[in-house]
Amino acid sequence: MNSAANAVISAENLRFAYPGSAPVLEDVSFTAMEGEHISVVGPNGSGKSTLFQILSGFLRPASGRVLLGRADIASLTPLERARRLSFVPQDIRADFPFSCMEVVLMALYPHRPRLAATSAADIELAAALMRETGTWRFAEKNIMDLSGGERQRVIISRALLQAESAASGGCGLLLLDEAMSALDIAARIDMMKLLSRRAASRRAAIIGIHHDLHTAGGFSSRVIALFRGRIAASGTPQEVFTEAFFKDVFSVRAEITGGGFLIRDVHG
């Protein structure tokens, strides 16, 4: 599993700074393999969202590179990137009155000829994913009429369909930038379980930014922690989430328990 042939995306020595500002990222390197479900965590301002903008190709690093499979992402067109990765941003807007099924089926646009008709197989696959994400009951509803959490689940359904279509060609990647922030705890747990299942069974990698550390720790195969623009820790949740980690990265006192951890106080 740990071979270059199984690498879905690799970040190599990334450095980035916005104009007139100190570097946001410094020497960030990691590889996501097929089947991995990775959570990226860290305090506000640690560079998480900027990292995702670079991984998705929206921003270019000052130095270093991102490889999508074996291709430098900077060499790919937006259409080529869309065929190989799907990205769910923090700010999920719905500006046009499409039905939720129409929104999910938009995931197929990069993978089929322009103006091609939607097939019965496409609809069946989209419906199956919507059932898994608990959004099938919204299929014919106007997406603008949904709550924030409901809308997030529809957009994640679309991203899963896009990633699965990419995975059928040998490489699938799903990037989630705090995409579950509006979900209640039950919906968040269900979604994390679903993501872990899809990663393990679909030859894809899923990488998500999470502020809920219990969610990240309970359902991820690996945790990558950013602190002041650098990788502070990387490993299984059990390896990363230690009392020293919580003190040094989040400035809180934590008690490590058999089932995870408890945050006790702000470290003074």
Query: pLDDT exceeding 70 applies to what percent of the chain?
Result: 95
Q: Where are the alpha helices (DSSP H) in the chain?
A: 48-55, 78-82, 100-105, 120-132, 148-167, 185-201, 213-219, 237-240, 243-245
- What pLDDT is stored for residue 268 in this prediction? 61
Higher pLDDT, 128 or 6: 128
Alpha carbon distance 152, 13 (integer Å): 32
pLDDT digits (tens, 9 = 90+) for 236-262: 999 999 999 999 999 999 999 877 888
Distance CA 38, CA 101 (A): 28
Work out the pLDDT band at 176, boundaries 50, 70, 90.
very high
pLDDT tens for each residue of 72-88: 999 999 999 998 899 99
In this prediction, residues 178-192 reach a mean pLDDT of 90
Task: Write down the pLDDT at residue 169.
Answer: 55
**Computed over its alpha carbons, how large is the radius of gyration of the chain?**
19
Name, in order, each residue with C-beta under 8 angstroms of 98's C-beta and a sequence gap of 6 or more.
Answer: 106, 142, 143
> For a pLDDT cut of 90, what percent of the chain falls above it?
69
Q: pLDDT at residue 266 above 50?
A: yes
Distance CA 258, CA 4 (A): 35
pLDDT at 112: 80
CATH architecture of 4-235: 3-Layer(aba) Sandwich (3.40)
Q: What is the pLDDT of residue 257?
A: 87
Poorest-pLDDT segment among 72-86, 164-178, 201-215:
164-178
Q: Which residue has the higher pLDDT, 203 or 160?
A: 160
pLDDT at 5 over 70: no
**What does the pLDDT look like over 224-240, one tens digit per residue?**
999 999 999 999 999 99
Report residue 168's pLDDT band, with 50, 70 and 90 as the boundaries: low
pLDDT tens-digit profile of 8-67? 999 999 999 999 999 999 999 999 998 899 999 999 999 999 999 999 999 999 999 999
Give the mean pLDDT of the chain.
90
Distance of CA 164 to the CA centre of its chain: 14
Query: From the CB of residue 184, how many other CB atoms can be counted at a distance below 10 Å?
Result: 10
In the chain, where the domains are located: 4-235, 237-268
Q: What local confidence, expressed as pLDDT, does residue 61 receive?
A: 97
pLDDT (average), residues 215-229: 95
pLDDT of 1: 45
pTM exceeds cut of 0.75: yes
The pLDDT confidence band at residue 140, using thresholds 50, 70 and 90, is very high
